[in-house]
Structure 1
Amino acid sequence: MIVINLNIKGLGGGVKAKYLKHIIYKESAEFVCLQETKVMNFSDSKCFALWGDNNIGWVLNEGENGAGGILSMWNKEVFEYRSHVKGRGFIVVPGIYVKMNCLCVIVNVYAACSNSDKAVMWDALSTIKSYSQNEVWCCCGDFNAVRIMEERKGVRGLSSQKKEIKDFNKFIDRNVLVELPLVGKKFTWYKADGSAKSRLDRFLVSLEWLQRWPTSKQYVLEREVSDHCAIVAKSWAKD
Structure 2
Amino acid sequence: MRLASWNIRGLGNKSRGRLAGAIVNRFQLHFFAIQETMVNDVGLPVLNEIWKHYAFDTIQVQASGRSGGLLSSWRTDVFSLVMAWKRKNWIATILRYSPSNNVILIVNVYAPLQESKKKILWAQLCSIARIWPGPLCFMGDFNSVCCPGERLRENIDLVSIANFKDFINNASLFDLPLSND
Task: For 1:44 and 1:136, locate their aligned partners in 2 and report how far apart those are by CA, in whole Å.
Answer: 31
Task: For 1:11 and 1:33, locate their aligned partners in 2 and report how far apart those are by CA, in whole Å.
Answer: 12
Task: For 1:152 and 1:4, locate their aligned partners in 2 and report how far apart those are by CA, in whole Å.
Answer: 20
Q: Where does residue 194 of structure 1 map in the other structure?
A: none
Q: Where does structure 1 differ by over 3 angstroms across 4 or more consecutive aligned residues? A: 42-46
Instruction: String of CA shifts for 1:31-53, please: whole Å, max 9, x gaps.
Output: 00000001102344542232114
Normalization by structure 2: what TM-score? 0.92
| Mapping 1:25-104, distance limit 5 Å | 25-53=25-53, 55-104=55-104
Task: For 1:104 and 1:78, locate their aligned partners in 2 and report how far apart those are by CA, in whole Å.
Answer: 12
Normalization by structure 1: what TM-score? 0.71
Aligned-residue sequence identity (percent) comes to 27
Query: How many residues matched?
Result: 181
| Mapping 1:17-28, distance limit 5 Å | 17-28=17-28
RMSD of aligned residue pairs (Cα, Å):
1.7
Q: Where does residue 163 of structure 2 map in the other structure?
A: 167
CA contact (8 A) 1:63 1:89 kept: no
Q: Where does residue 106 of structure 1 map in the other structure?
A: 106
Unaligned runs of 5+ in 2: none
Instruction: String of CA shifts for 1:92-129, please: whole Å, max 9, x gaps.
Output: 11111111211111110111111111111111111112
CA contact (8 A) 1:8 1:34 kept: yes
Residue type at the aligned position of 1:141 = G
Task: For 1:176 and 1:50, locate their aligned partners in 2 and report how far apart those are by CA, in whole Å.
Answer: 33
SS of 2:19 mapped into structure 1? helix
Q: Where does residue 149 of structure 1 map in the other structure?
A: 148
| Mapping 1:192-211, distance limit 5 Å | none
Larger RCO of the pair (alpha carbons < 8 Å, separation 6+): 1
Task: For 2:174 and 2:77, locate their aligned partners in 1 and report how far apart those are by CA, in whole Å.
Answer: 28
Unaligned runs of 5+ in 1: 183-201, 203-218, 222-239
Task: For 2:127 and 2:87, locate their aligned partners in 1 and report how far apart those are by CA, in whole Å.
Answer: 12
Residue type at the aligned position of 2:109 = V
SS of 2:137 mapped into structure 1? strand
